Structure 1
């Protein structure tokens, strides 16, 4: 297959499509710093329509609040790059979709925007499965390999979270 994406992303996206198809699961995404890259990777794969229900690219705080229902108090108190925010993003995506699992991503791809507490390369993920009581969330600090590098690393991690 001819793709602009690195082979490891395409291979992992293929696994996401194949394994979720076999499990009869639909997925939804709430992407910020990846800007739709995760959905783009999934849709590179034939048969992805059996798996991808929808994807939200909520890059701005206004989009997170308006499209996904993230409370402004969460963003004010914790910031858009926080476990609280991605949890609310995943919850909103799951509630607004027919999917079985949601993954949300928010981070600082750089080269600007980082701080001492949240340096460039900080990316936070949440995964929520319909019917489960507790979502999973994690913060990762990826090597600052430039804006594209951080986004590619975040895409790989998000795809891993979509595996059954």
Structure 2
């Protein structure tokens, strides 16, 4: 990375990732939604096709900004019965790696995440590799162009067979 000008420093990117984790753990989903660019995407490939193409392959989640908006609206309403009452979550982010991104003024950040989800029935653990494409918004703050979450699970059976929270 030496000699390459990036849109943000490693510390700024790590702070952004920790801030996003806090927003999700605190169910401040509207603020999380606003982290996305207008062309942003949230993508969780199927567990049996982790390298899947979001435009061609079946995925657990493949949301554009409009899809993210709808997902947040459902999760914050009583329509998401599985999340009423809401799960308690705690995220641990680590092994952050940063490199220049494919677009002008973009950066790619990769990290590992452990998400603990507690419900009355017990606690489920999700392990994932997260890949972000980030770029500054009009206000200069980092925004998500892409958030790709690859779950380290052969199947979701051990997590109740569903993915009702945002990883």
User: Fold match, TM over 0.5?
Assistant: no
Of Structure 1 and Structure 2, the greater helix share is in 1
Larger Rg: 2
